Structure 1
């Protein structure tokens, strides 16, 4: 082994033992204390890795992303965990801290102990990933890796050799070996983050000339990786903080490669103005398909997964389950809960569930309210719901009817709140099944092909903009500061995904049959139904003429009578709203909260 590599290893060993350059991030009181409650050591083919669960707790029903964190030369998996503490900063990852077989990783230089002794570290990591996906509920395509120091060199090696396994990779305090730079081939474009201090004397930022272990500079490494990632556009430089400069490469395929240069930074994990663990997670989350806000999770049901956002604490009475329904554009996702969810969370634990094809729920070849009602018992089981009050907006009342016909036997339904529900009378059903729904069904394959080609992208974007403007004008002044626009925008942007547009259209086509299933179930209702009934129909009536206007007037009149009858027959409440829009959840959040509050008080 060359003298230079021996010196390098010695420096890393000093760092691992507490050298001041190692980390600016505080470590927990003891390594043992950090690992006992949420970490276990797992053996694999004569080697081992540490598996850390979220500090907030592990949910066996929830789906997680996978993060692998590689320690430096002379360090251990336990050192890396104590230094980075990724599991303390996110509830969305299972974090694996692997142990190298030798004192260092086989990082692709072909020049060190691990290479000479045949450590096969890359194969070890591939096997860990496969085993984790076999044993845990992990999200496909959401694997990430990060390494510190020589572990950073190894993360680059994994990027070059197995990019198909990772959505994102990061390296900290590491440039790139000349040997790996000469051989690196990235088969699948991958997001990449590099964090490096300009004054690093262990793995120098400006590179190192040596016959056995040479390094190229970090800017050169970033340019090389960006080229391998098929990013042809020039880099953009920006100042992140007074001591941090960013060089960012990105392309139309939205692949981002970024170098964060720390002025005055040395060979350490975190720096002034940069908490590296949080920054790495921020970078990965930003480029994840599942960039979740607080409370969001995925739950597996059969071959599909459902997005659920849960806020609030148990009231020891009943959970509140909020179901979104369609507006005039048939957008039907949890964006509609962006104001009322936090209001209802003051009353208890509230889950908003996105049907297949909405928000971050998976797509489906045959989506429908009927399919959702079939999966709902399993979803409630995974959410550990024992008693429930359903709040159903628009046509999602159909799903509650179907669910109540074949409910989860372990879940008691206390009551339901229907907000502008579908009216299950012959005249109303005929209206729902005509128009756009009938047209879509008549030309099913033609519409699917047309939308799959991206022809609705511009229309969808315009509708998102129109809806946002409309909603902003409806929110009462007293609630403006409580509107969760961040979550709203994250959800509505998911509508631009072409596969989700296709799924939504398929659900519209199947809406005809959903109505046929639900219309016969009204008479079997056995729980109190509170109906909040706006007069939004008046807006369509004002624009219509002749027979069309007469049909709409009949729909409105019969709808109000039917809603009042449903509330009366089930011993619920009927709450009419005058001069209201269909966006009741935004315009009258107080009415929704009050209706649920009354139900909870009655059922104490």
Structure 2
């Protein structure tokens, strides 16, 4: 009983801190959940502010190589899309400006989004996911109550449920975090990784400034991006990042059970070539990485074809395509909204 009380007090303290002490950026709003709130950032043309919108765009983020994943990754793509469309960028709990939770995961994000999406102002949603947030996207499609509200999915460099991919995804660093989480969390609480986290954030910001084309630098919301970066530095978020990596295996296990090739909604896939530098630098794992890359390409094409979606291959070797290839992504998403595919009846 004492343990439960302490756990409740910790959760309450975390929620109060997240919900009352953080100043939200312009366009942001918190949507309540049973255990906290999700941060949703709305950007849209002024002309659409009071209009009925049939389909809005929802953006959800996955991780880069440092496992940072939040709405900062849409600091360019969302403003570009918002020139024409109603757009929502959403942070899962323990990410960005959302409240903290004790066990963050992509599974939980799907459950939370199922509660929040019906509250947003649109009849349907085109759900755009990056990297591992394809787990959340797929689980939402498997929810019959939400699937009817989805005009389609756009998966940008998604996780793929193939044999080679699982061998890589369940290896380092995910296996290391699972094995060491109990020891790591108290060390993080002492600030052991504060300097390391700050250095990674500085390196990431420098890299982003390098890969955003010069003509798009003014359209990138650098202020918003850096505001989100500040939240990553907090010790509670360093701990949440570690927990989420440890939870990744369970996320994947559920993800892999989904009948991907029988999607209820059209699934479009964008494949960059971020694997190329990894393969070039590899030694022992080169063959496995090459197989992962080819299986992923084949899977993405089959998924798009089978579900009535579309497939876009980009030669870009950056993983953060939302910055390096934002115009191409915006054009692709615009084409999907202009000529949507018909929703298919899934074979169950």
Q: Residue in 1 aligned with 2:328?
A: 591
Q: Residue in 1 aligned with 2:305?
A: 568
Higher radius of gyration, 1 or 2: 1
Does residue 297 of structure 1 match 2:35?
no
**Cα offset for 1:476?**
1.4
Contact 1:377 1:407 in 2 (8 A): no
Aligned length: 321
Does residue 311 of structure 1 match 2:43?
yes
Rounded to whole Å, the distance in 2 between the matches of 1:441 and 1:459 is 20
Does residue 543 of structure 1 match 2:276?
no
**Cα offset for 1:600?**
1.0
Does residue 552 of structure 1 match 2:284?
no
Q: Structure 2: 5+ residue runs without aligned partners?
A: 1-14, 342-348
**Cα offset for 1:542?**
1.2
Q: Residue in 1 aligned with 2:243?
A: 506
Among 195, 209, 232, the alignment partner of 1:495 is 232
Rounded to whole Å, the distance in 1 between the matches of 2:31 and 2:256 is 30
**Cα offset for 1:545?**
0.9
Among 515, 536, 548, the alignment partner of 2:252 is 515
Q: How does 1:120-135 map to 2 (within 5 A)?
A: none
Contact 1:530 1:595 in 2 (8 A): no
Could you say if the C-alpha distance between residues 457 and 142 of structure 1 is closer, same or farther in structure 2, counting changes exceeding 3 Å?
closer
Rounded to whole Å, the distance in 2 between the matches of 1:545 and 1:142 is 44
Contact 1:387 1:412 in 2 (8 A): yes
**Cα offset for 1:357?**
0.8
Rounded to whole Å, the distance in 1 between the matches of 2:190 and 2:151 is 45
Q: How does 1:36-435 map to 2 (within 5 A)?
A: 140=16, 289-312=21-44, 313=48, 316-409=53-146, 412-435=149-172
Q: Residue in 1 aligned with 2:270?
A: 532
Contact 2:71 2:96 in 1 (8 A): yes
Higher strand share: 1
Could you say if the C-alpha distance between residues 407 and 385 of structure 1 is closer, same or farther in structure 2, counting changes exceeding 3 Å?
farther
Rounded to whole Å, the distance in 1 between the matches of 2:147 and 2:329 is 27
Contact 1:338 1:485 in 2 (8 A): yes
Rounded to whole Å, the distance in 1 between the matches of 2:24 and 2:136 is 26
Q: How high is the TM-score relative to the length of structure 2? A: 0.88
Higher helix share: 2
Contact 1:529 1:567 in 2 (8 A): yes
Q: Deviations over 1:234-256 (max 9, x none)?
A: xxxxxxxxxxxxxxxxxxxxxxx
Which stretches of structure 1, 4 residues or longer, exceed 6 Å deviation after superposition? none
**Cα offset for 1:533?**
0.4
Q: How high is the TM-score relative to the length of structure 1? A: 0.51
Which structure is higher in RCO with an 8 Å CA cutoff and minimum separation 6?
2
Contact 1:451 1:502 in 2 (8 A): yes
Could you say if the C-alpha distance between residues 579 and 340 of structure 1 is closer, same or farther in structure 2, counting changes exceeding 3 Å?
closer
Rounded to whole Å, the distance in 2 between the matches of 1:549 and 1:505 is 27
Rounded to whole Å, the distance in 1 between the matches of 2:147 and 2:140 is 13
Q: Deviations over 1:431-482 (max 9, x none)?
A: 1111110011112201212212211111110111111111111111221110
Rounded to whole Å, the distance in 2 between the matches of 1:355 and 1:361 is 6
Contact 1:315 1:347 in 2 (8 A): no
The alignment's C-alpha RMSD in Å is 1.9
